[in-house]
Amino acid sequence: MAILEIKKFKDPVLRRKCRKVRKIDKEIRKLIVDMVQTMGKGQGVGLAAPQVGVLKRIIVVQTDLKGQRILALINPKVINKSREKEKGEEGCLSFPGIFLEIKRSKQVEIKALDINGKEIKFKAQGFLARVFQHEIDHLDGILFFNRLNIIKRIMFKLKHLHGFN
């Protein structure tokens, strides 16, 4: 087990689209264990593989407030989301100390593979739905500030990301 380096906002790896995992082998399982350790050390509730410099479609998410239940999803995909949206505060391990009000769907239905390669489907709502949407966005090179309206996005970039596209 290893604590991995969390890539920060200016790292170009965060803007790239991830590749689908074709085979779940020892290397993928070790990456997942390392991601869980890294998320815990960073006191996050979710972590996507590109945040540790790996362009594979893998996320880990803490599904309870005590941090005792963690779900690892391989090739996760939102297959359905509610039209009803809500605003909520989001942070990101790649943007330490920055929190933004982001509008997201209240409910989502997710399809993915578990660590054993078994297909799973489930629904999430509220905060957990928000976490899944945030982490899956990372797999497509979308950062949470990209979800702001154009004016707020420009203001955010000027304040926090001078010189960052």
* Cα 137 from Cα 75, distance rounded (Å): 12
Q: Is residue 145 part of a domain?
A: yes
Output the CA–CA distances (angstroms, integers) from residue 33 to 26, 36, 109, in the order listed.
Answer: 11, 5, 25
φ, ψ of residue 156 to 5 degrees: the values are -60, -45
> Is residue 135 among the annotated active site residues?
yes
Q: Is residue 6 part of a domain?
A: no
The pTM of this model reads 0.91
Q: Is residue 4 part of a domain?
A: no
**Is residue 154 over pLDDT 70?**
yes
* Cα 43 from Cα 117, distance rounded (Å): 27
Which residue out of 5, 86, 119, 135 is catalytically annotated?
A: 135
Q: Is residue 119 part of a domain?
A: yes
Domain that holds residue 19: 12-160
- Return the CATH number at 18: 3.90.45.10
Q: Is residue 1 part of a domain?
A: no
Phi-psi region of 75 (alpha: psi -120 to 50; beta: other; left: phi over 0): left
Q: What is the count of structural domains for the chain? A: 1
- Chain segment 101-145, per-residue pLDDT in tens: 999 999 999 999 999 999 999 999 999 999 999 999 999 999 998
Q: Is residue 7 part of a domain?
A: no
- Chain segment 57-94, per-residue pLDDT in tens: 999 999 876 657 899 999 999 999 999 999 999 999 99
